[in-house]
Amino acid sequence: MTSPIRVLVVDDSAYIRKVITEMLSRNPGIEVVGTARDGGEALEQTERLNPDVVTSDLIMPGVGGVEFIQRQMAIRPVPIVIVSVASESSEQVLAALDAGAVDFVQKPTALATERVFDVAEDLVAKVTAAARAPVGRISRALLEVPPPVTTIYQNRYSVLVIGVSTGGPQGLKAVVPRLPADFPIPVAIVLHMPMGYTEAYAKRLDDTSALTVTEARDGEPLRAGLVMVAPAGRHLTFYRTGEGKVVAQLGVRPLDTPHRPSVDVMFQSAAGVYGERVMGVVMSGMGADGREGAAWIKARGGTVLTESEETCVVYGMPRAVVEAGLSDQSVPLHLLSAAILERA
């Protein structure tokens, strides 16, 4: 019998601490071993209790959530799941992910406390996934720079499409900024994030990249040098105009996908437009989004790479592709950009 996941709950609201404790404790595989009212107390409790996972609010008096995550990661990396209100700044959430948090769950609002139980299923799933996240290894992988790659392009592909979920905000920082300014094909990314975060995330990624990174806009042509991030809440697909240009198309259909945007939907569209000239990459994430899309890419003669288990925060999406026999190569995160360049 496996031991339950030991969780420390951090929030300045006594009510929210109680609610999160109740939500987690309903799952027999989770044990809440302590609570803390702010980041300073959380640092002490983490050292004393040695939890497997910490859930943390962001806006707290004294030591706030971002500072707590930064200090805790410097002492000893621990999987941390942010639990924030929807009204909190997207910049705060992204700063927390930059600092090393594994994932985040949104409270409905600061005041509508009767609805916080709505997030219970999502919270339990993300805490369970976080408990298995190789946090320390990922931090080291982000620091490892691959050997230089001679960029003599073979004109083999016309688009690079990337799908990623949990671990994506951190993982993409190890891939996109390492693609050179002369990377010859457009890049499109589906990242599972709540509404209101993708535009800010694209701007942060743009700041560290030689390529231009933007949130995708309807009707925008795909071109070399541009990285499009699908906006939360809308699928990203492609179509070829009468003049032969390929442009982005944003929409809510299909409605029956587990995620919107969906990796499967983007991959299938890319395969339909570009045929064998598609390189797909499936990175860390829960679930199987990307498996069906990878099958479309492979059926048209394209290539699919997957992030290897050793660096995935959650080896769900890549595992689904690998086990379906659709991955041409599994690559650790810190070597993924080099593998892309070698094939391009």
Write out the catalytic residue numbers. 165, 192, 289
Helix %, strand %, coil % for the chain, to 5?
35, 20, 40
Helices (H) and strands (E) in the chain, counts: 12, 14
Contact partners, residue 46, CB within 8 Å, separation at least 6:
8, 54, 72, 76, 78
Q: What is the identity of the amino acid at 155?
A: N
Taking each helix axis from N to C end, the angle separating 65-75 and 39-49, rounded to the nearest 10 degrees, works out to 30
Alpha helices in the chain (DSSP H): 14-25, 39-49, 65-75, 90-99, 120-130, 135-143, 168-172, 198-207, 263-274, 291-299, 317-323, 333-343
- Residue 82 CA to residue 141 CA, distance in Å, equals 22
- Give the Å distances, CA to CA, from 131 to 51, 93, 128: 10, 20, 5
Instruction: Kindly tell me the burial class for residue 206, based on how many C-beta atoms sit within 10 Å of its own C-beta (0-12, 13-18, 19 or more).
Output: middle
- Residue 168 CA to residue 188 CA, distance in Å, equals 14
Tokens of 302: 């394209």
DSSP assignment of 285-311 equals BSS-TTHHHHHHHHHTT-EEEEE-TTT
The closest alpha carbon to 341, from 198, 156, 171, 192, belongs to 156
